[in-house]
């Protein structure tokens, strides 16, 4: 790989005797990885687990596989997987992933939260937020909403609200050069300093949303000290109540430059790409979460009866949260959210379905989020049938079932809901997601 000369000079000076081993890694292939989703049913074994990292494996997953389509796996580069592992969100927390697309860290945070609490996944780019929504739905998110906002506007709505904020900040991307060589085209000697300026601006807004006693995870996929340790030093100076929490090192992770509490990931020490991670604690006396009065459901009596009729016939569980109707669409939001009227929302909680004339039709997202034992009526497809279904075909089966809605299952996990009519499973898999 033809690296910029100034880049090589910088890291020869920074890494000294290790520089040659570091620079040689750029002539090696990028390392791929994936995570298994603990919110899904696992019926298969995967090879090459990554040591000391739950749910993590080395290897590639095809976007056309059933494991991908059902949300059982999520492709994510190994070093990037360390961020949410260090964040280690807990059930019941209020969590913000401030720069969330395409969804690797948000889905990983969900794995720790077990669909309990609130996850706000924000992405400022509208185009990228659509990809984030798609990945969150496939993963089976129930307690998450996706916002499409600037940090400043979010800070106005969520003051001192979150127990945990994860900011994998926009950066110079040096750690992605092997994976994405085009990133080198943007690199210059001054680019890290320019990125650091933006990172500090985002952090100012992020800290307005962190409640006393909360934690901030700050990470980048670059090795530039200007964007890493220097930004952390600035944080500690500007916010004296923040304390740097030591990160336990594993799998070859290195201590930060003059900051042993922080972690650096280099490809000549860690089988992955590049990452920097810092964990900071707000040391002010923690406050009890301010109870926010959840909005009232706006379902009409008629709509409520249609939903209850569907839920009673098809679900083995009662879904809790705030039911809200937008147009003819029914959503389930986590309880305890502030007024979101001024927030651009890409995914308003869990989309439950659509009200039609005198009936309710379940959504694709609901069929992805529910486990097989949470649904009374399901139709399991074998692998060949499931791939045909993913390609948009109707499926004919020699089984005797009453007509109606069924959760479609592949390898034990949902592919949405579909209608069974006289021996034929109609295809309700979203056209934009179908295999070609």
Mean pLDDT by 10 residues, the chain (436 residues): 93 97 96 97 95 97 96 98 97 97 98 96 96 97 97 97 98 95 91 97 98 97 98 98 98 98 98 98 81 78 96 96 94 94 94 96 98 97 98 95 97 98 96 93
Measured CA to CA, the distance from residue 353 to residue 360 in angstroms comes to 7
Could you state, in order of their start, the residue ranges of all structural domains in the chain?
Answer: 5-282
Contacts of 73 (CB under 8 A, 6+ apart): 34, 35, 36, 37, 46, 61, 65, 67
Q: Which class for 341: exposed (0-12), middle (13-18), buried (19 or more C-beta within 10 A)? A: exposed
* 27 marked among binding-site residues: no
Is the separation of the CB atoms in 413 and 65 below 8 Å? no
Question: What sign for the dihedral angle of Cα 334, 338, 341, 345?
Answer: negative
Which of the 8 DSSP states describes residue 342? T
d(CA 408, CA 368): 9
Check the annotation: does 321 bind a ligand. no
- The model's pTM is 0.96
CATH of domain 5-282: 3.40.50.150
Tokens (6 digits) for 370: 């529910």
By CB atoms closer than 10 A (0-12, 13-18, 19+), residue 436 is: exposed
| Coil vs helix vs strand at 136 | helix
pLDDT at position 326 is: 93
92 assigned to a ligand binding site: no
Could you tell me which residues come within 8 angstroms of residue 206 by beta carbon, excluding any fewer than 6 positions away? 96, 98, 151, 155, 165, 167, 216
What pLDDT score does 287 carry? Answer: 73
78-87 vs 104-113: helix crossing angle, rounded to 10: 40
Instruction: Determine the pLDDT at residue 294.
Output: 64
| Phi and psi torsions of 309, nearest 5° | -65, -45
The confidence score (pLDDT) of residue 331 equals 97
pLDDT of residue 289: 59
366 sits in which H/E element: helix 364-369
Q: Is 206 annotated as a binding residue?
A: no
- Predicted pLDDT of residue 354: 98
Which residues are designated catalytic?
Answer: 221
Rounded to a whole number of angstroms, the CA Rg of the chain reads: 23
Query: Does 105 count as an annotated binding residue?
Result: yes
């Amino acid at each position: 790989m033809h690296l910029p000369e100034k880049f090589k000079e910088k890291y020869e000076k920074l890494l000294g005797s290790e520089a040659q081993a570091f620079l040689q890694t750029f002539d090696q292939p990028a390392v791929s990885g994936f995570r298994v989703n603990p919110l899904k049913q696992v019926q298969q074994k995967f090879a090459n687990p990554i040591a000391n990292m739950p749910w993590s494996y080395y290897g590639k997953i095809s976007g056309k596989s059933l494991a991908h389509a059902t949300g059982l796996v999520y492709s994510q580069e190994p070093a990037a997987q360390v961020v949410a592992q260090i964040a280690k969100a807990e059930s019941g927390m209020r969590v913000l992933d401030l720069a969330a697309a395409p969804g690797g860290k948000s889905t990983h945070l969900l794995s720790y939260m077990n669909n309990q609490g609130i996850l706000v996944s924000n992405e400022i780019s509208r185009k990228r937020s659509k990809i984030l929504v798609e990945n969150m739905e496939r993963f089976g998110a129930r307690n998450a909403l996706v916002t499409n906002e600037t940090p400043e506007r979010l800070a106005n709505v969520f003051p001192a609200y979150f127990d945990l904020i994860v900011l994998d900040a926009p950066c110079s991307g040096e750690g992605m050069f092997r994976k994405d060589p085009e990133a080198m085209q943007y690199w210059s000697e001054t680019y890290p300093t320019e990125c650091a300026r933006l990172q500090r601006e985002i952090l100012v807004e992020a800290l307005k949303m962190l409640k006393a006693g909360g934690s901030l995870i700050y990470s980048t996929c670059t090795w530039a000290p200007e964007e890493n340790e220097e930004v952390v030093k600035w944080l500690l100076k500007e916010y004296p109540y923040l304390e740097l929490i030591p990160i336990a090192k594993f799998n070859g992770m290195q201590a930060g430059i003059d900051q042993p509490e922080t972690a650096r990931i280099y490809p000549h020490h860690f089988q992955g790409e590049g990452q920097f991670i810092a964990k900071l604690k707000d040391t002010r006396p923690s406050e009890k979460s301010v109870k926010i009065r959840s909005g009232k459901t706006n379902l009409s009596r008629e709509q409520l009866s249609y939903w209850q009729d569907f839920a009673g016939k098809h679900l083995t569980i009662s879904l809790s949260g705030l039911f809200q109707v937008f147009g003819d669409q029914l959503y389930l939001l986590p309880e305890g959210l502030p007024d979101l009227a001024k927030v651009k929302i890409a995914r308003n909680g869990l989309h439950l379905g659509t009200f039609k004339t005198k009936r309710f039709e379940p959504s694709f997202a609901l069929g992805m989020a529910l486990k097989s034992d949470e649904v009374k009526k399901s139709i399991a497809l074998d692998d060949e049938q499931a791939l045909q279904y993913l390609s948009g075909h109707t499926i004919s089966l020699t089984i005797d079932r009453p007509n109606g809605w069924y959760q479609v299952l592949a390898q034990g996990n949902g592919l949405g809901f579909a209608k069974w009519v006289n021996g034929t499973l109609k295809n309700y898999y979203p056209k934009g997601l179908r295999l070609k």
